[in-house]
Amino acid sequence: MSASDYPGSHSVVRWPREKTTPNKALQLDQCELAENGFQLIRQYGVDVSRLERDLDWISGGQLYYSSRVGALCHQYSVLPESANFSEQMLGGGFHTDFMFQPNPPAYIALLCLQPDPRHPLYGRNQVVHVRPFLERMQQIFGVSEQELKEYRLLYDLAERGRFEQPILSDLDGKPIFRFHERLLAKGQMKGISAPDMSVAAMLHAVMMEVMADICLDRGDLLILSNHNALHRRGECSIEFAGVAGKWHAREMATIRFNL
Ligand SMILES: [Fe+2]
């Protein structure tokens, strides 16, 4: 990306080979979602009810209801203090949404309602597609897809205890990601080839190398594959709007769905 691709603070950094979809009617490009792990729709608008209607129609009613969220659409913003990962200023870990469910939702729609006060430097979305991830794991560390399917990562969750899960698993005969970087247990089992590096560090290094950075401006919509890509978001900032007496921060709406 050249310097001229970085506009002023109220514009958007474009992904270098960005293919934009007109916002007249929401159409998903399944080739692009399969190839890149995401599809970007600029200037869709901030009408959350419209997004829910559009996705309900496109998915044939297969919107994902989360009992934890208590709704089809999850709206959230960055807060000065929160126990919830999505509301923290700290950068997130690469993950699959609802990785512990037997059938994690296939797609995630992320609508930007308000960009970060320091957009586009902060609050970026970052996506790791499975193909370059597997290629680089093999090239850099000599770790094969089969080894990743067999190597059981250890998670330590307050509500489930210790839990083992490979980063790749089969769902309906296809390999999908199942991973949550921030929930990994401290000590991992041995058995993957890199004597001087932890498994978590190997995975993270390759993810950081192959990830795509996407900066969403107000009204931009990002559709992610939750099966053949991992995602996270970068560090966020916050601004105190003194006159209004409240915090000004990145605000998003999320809907998960199947096709
Ligand atoms: Fe997520």
2 inside domain = no
Cβ of 113: how many Cβ atoms within 10 Å? 16
- Asked if 117 and 224 sit in the same domain, the reply is yes
- Asked if 45 and 77 sit in the same domain, the reply is yes
pLDDT tens digits along 232-247? 999 999 999 877 678 8
224 inside domain = yes
Asked if residues 227 and 131 have their Cβ atoms less than 8 Å apart, the reply is no
Token duo for residue 147: 């080894």
- Asked if 55 and 34 sit in the same domain, the reply is yes
195 inside domain = yes
pLDDT tens digits along 117-171? 999 899 999 999 999 999 999 999 999 999 999 999 999 888 778 889 999 999 9
Task: For 118-133, give the DSSP string.
Answer: TTTTSS-EEEEEHHHH
Domain total of the chain? 2
Distance 82 CA to ligand 1 centre (A): 16
Average pLDDT over residues 79-90: 90
Distance 4 CA to ligand 1 centre (A): 31
118 inside domain = yes
Asked if residues 44 and 111 have their Cβ atoms less than 8 Å apart, the reply is yes
Q: What domain range includes position 137?
A: 130-207
Distance 95 CA to ligand 1 centre (A): 6
Asked if residues 211 and 126 have their Cβ atoms less than 8 Å apart, the reply is yes
Least confident window among 39-48, 62-71, 127-136 = 62-71
Q: What is the DSSP letter of 254?
A: E
Distance 76 CA to ligand 1 centre (A): 12
